[in-house]
Structure 1
Amino acid sequence: MENKAQKTASAGAAGWFVDRTSAGWSLLTGRPVSLYAASALRIGYGLLYLIFLLREFPHRDEVWGPGSPWTPALAHQLYEQTGWFSILALSDSRAYFELCYGLALITSALFTLGWRTRVMSVLFAVVVTSFHARAIFMTDGGDNLVLLMALYLVLTACGRRWSLDARRNRLKSVPADNTPQPARSLLTRQLRDARTTLVTVVHNCGMFVIAAQVCVLYGSAGLYKVQGPSWGSGTAVHYALNLELFRPWPALSHFVDEHTLVIAIVGYMTVLLQVAFPFVLFGRLKYPVLTLLLGMHIGIAVLLGLPLFSGAMIIADAVFLPDRFYTFLPRLCRRVLRRTDGRRPASGVEEGSGTVPAQGGPGSALGSKHRVPQAPEMS
């Protein structure tokens, strides 16, 4: 009897394992997941890096160009030790650098718009890697995350939604009238299905790696803070607000620093949110956590002057929002616009004036019982 129970338990465990494996395989190969989130990452990081390059355009020569204190010769010595590579270090010519910078701007713009996304994602990764490696000691943390995400986005189908590629495919999918569809051989269909499965698997793995990277980032940052005495005493934010390098508006930092209780609460909440983040992703609790993290990153961007880092983190958090959230946003915007238009007074009618009945209708004909009272003439 005992052996029979053990066999039954073993069979049940094996069946559960087989079911879970089958479900995981179906999730991996069935369809690409989080297509809207991948498109949001593409638009976010492409636009963020484009703004970053435009912001540094007046200082481009001192940061990445031939006039940089970190000369190409020094960069090559570092590359021999670290294995990095940069297309900017291939030549010391000023014209070559200006050409690379212009191509970087164009690549970031086209990647954001989603034009030939497969090719542009590779070029965007090359651009980010090259600029990062050329001035590796002039980063603020946000560059590292943008670099990682640029490499991960190469694996994803981030041009399926909200892109010029999606618009072109949508127009191609509309068949012309009475146009016969060409017959495809069995080998052609099999190759097409194999390509579709491969693209789906690579995309899903890429999105999983992105989500895992963000979880590791938050979890490790929270655990690192727990070990520090300043975070345990609630004074870490106070010291950060008094660093000269991170005080774009000293008066604002001084005003916030005066509220010691709020500063301590913010410090403890920061640690709690970062440590708990990987454990709240599979429930509805992630939405308030993501909202609080959004406020935290906005505060970092404003108070500490780190907009690139905050923008990179805010965009990375978008990977955890489901597709139904992104499809709901346009409907919500249209609903708000309809309500706003409904509350506006009609053109030609002053707000608060009465409604003037239409003239010339059947009810205003001569002899009708429903006459419109006329206002007395002013002499």
Structure 2
Amino acid sequence: MGTEQVPPFPSPTATPERPTGQRSTGAGPARWFSDRAGAFWSLVTDRPVSLYAAAVLRIGYGLLYLVFLLREFPHRDEIWGPGSPWTPELAEQLFDQSGWNSILTLSGSRTYFELCYGIALLTSALFMLGWRTRAVSVLFAVVVLSFHARAIFMTDGGDNLILLMAVYLVFTACGRRWSLDARRRRRARVRAGKAAAPVRSSWLRQLSATRRTLTTVVHNCALFVIAAQVCLLYGAAGLYKVQGASWGGGTALHYVLNLELFQPWPALSHLVDQYATVIAIASYVTVLLQVAFPFVLFGRLKYPVLGMLLGMHIGIAVLMGLPLFSGAMIVADAAFLPDRFYEFLARTVRQGARRVGLRRPAPLGGARARSVPPQLRGGLPDAGQPAVPERGLASDPR
């Protein structure tokens, strides 16, 4: 009995080996759901997505509405002003039924209307340039809503889409790229790199982190709503066309080209209408692109689809005389291009500008070289002068 070998006591940290092919049945679905929820939460809260696409939406719709207001400047009184056949009293009666509202109906004075029109022009320009984008985006949405509601029977699909996008862009960080705000923040970071960082309390740091997270979540959700809106628009338009006999027979564009209301250049419309085979193919391709658009957004097939949609909208603008609608749709389609495409585009433009001498070459060291204190730019410091370490650029607080 004294010679018996006692089996070693198992270590408390040791785990029994699981036979090959045996799966845990307890935490499988819960672990999978937890991983997916964590990945989704990280996607929504970690960083704002598609900042360049949001900037393109801001620039595109601000420019479109500015050009639209300038184009209608000679006719502003007949459309929105006191001389309009659709009087403010009639507009107020419609507002009581529809729930719309407009700042243009607050007064019937011509001076007040001209002031509102000037503010609308200025707001569109500032929104396009990205000056104080947080506040100006709200003002731009109010301007678009007011002008749209004042003459609601004289609008088209382009006005409706611009109105929706103006409201959605209020909730995005569309001023972080290609804007005067971004330029001002870059200069502020350069100046901050030369000074000591301010000491902030822990609760201020937590408040700033909460603000950044909330801004990121709202921005990402707003961009998702924008993408869903465009997908719904294309999908509904395509499915509606499928139900019509003229689109199924390939003759819909033939009838469109012969409508006098949509013939800015009748000779060009009649010339295109002579090619019956091309008209039929274009009708089928239009329906196919609109129905397939929501299903090709997560692969490389979206790039040729976006290219064909660009050609389709250019054709609508030229042949049907609807440039505002076509421009609004082209800008909306640009939201689906990734940021790396816009970064490549901006890099190419900068290189081309330097090549022709329109832009000075960047200093050696890039952006960090501008944050080095002046005493280090001329060379090494003096023997009796301590070297000042280079301070990195601060992160974007917004």
TM-score by length of 1: 0.86
* Cα shift at 1:175: 3.6
| Residue of 98, 103, 106 corresponding to 2:119 | 103
Amino acid at match of 2:163: L
Equivalence for 1:45? 61
Amino acid at match of 2:56: A
* Mapping of residues 195-206 of structure 1, within 5 Å: 195-206=211-222
| Residue of 283, 287, 290 corresponding to 1:267 | 283
DSSP 3-state at the match of 1:13: helix
Equivalence for 2:180? 164
Superposition CA RMSD, Å: 1.7
Specify every segment of 5 or more residues in structure 1 that has no aligned partner in the other structure, as ranges.
342-379
Equivalence for 2:105? 89
Equivalence for 1:27? 43
| Residue of 77, 83, 99 corresponding to 1:67 | 83
**31-40 or 15-24, which moves further after superposition?**
15-24
CA displacement, residues 140-161 of structure 1 (integer Å, 9 cap, x when unaligned): 1100000000000000000000
Q: Is 1:112 matched up with 2:128?
A: yes
* Cα shift at 1:334: 4.7
Amino acid at match of 1:179: A
Q: Is 1:188 matched up with 2:204?
A: yes
DSSP 3-state at the match of 1:174: helix
Equivalence for 1:54? 70
How many Å separate the matches in 1 of 2:291 and 2:193? Answer: 58
Identity value in percent: 75
DSSP 3-state at the match of 1:137: helix
* Cα shift at 1:11: 3.2
* Cα shift at 1:333: 3.3
Q: Is 1:302 matched up with 2:297?
A: no
* Mapping of residues 1-379 of structure 1, within 5 Å: 8=24, 11-175=27-191, 179-334=195-350
Runs of 4+ in structure 1 displaced over 6 angstroms? 337-341
Aligned residues: 337
How many Å separate the matches in 1 of 2:106 and 2:22? Answer: 67
How many Å separate the matches in 2 of 1:162 and 1:320? Answer: 18
CA displacement, residues 271-322 of structure 1 (integer Å, 9 cap, x when unaligned): 0000000000000000000000000000000000000000000000011000
Task: Provide closer, same or farther for how the CA distance between residues 197 and 334 of structure 1 changes in structure 2, counting only shifts above 3 A.
Answer: closer
Amino acid at match of 1:34: S
Amino acid at match of 2:323: P
DSSP 3-state at the match of 1:214: helix
* Cα shift at 1:86: 0.1
* Cα shift at 1:135: 0.2
Equivalence for 1:374? none
Task: Provide closer, same or farther for how the CA distance between residues 262 and 188 of structure 1 changes in structure 2, counting only shifts above 3 A.
Answer: same
Task: Provide closer, same or farther for how the CA distance between residues 177 and 188 of structure 1 changes in structure 2, counting only shifts above 3 A.
Answer: closer
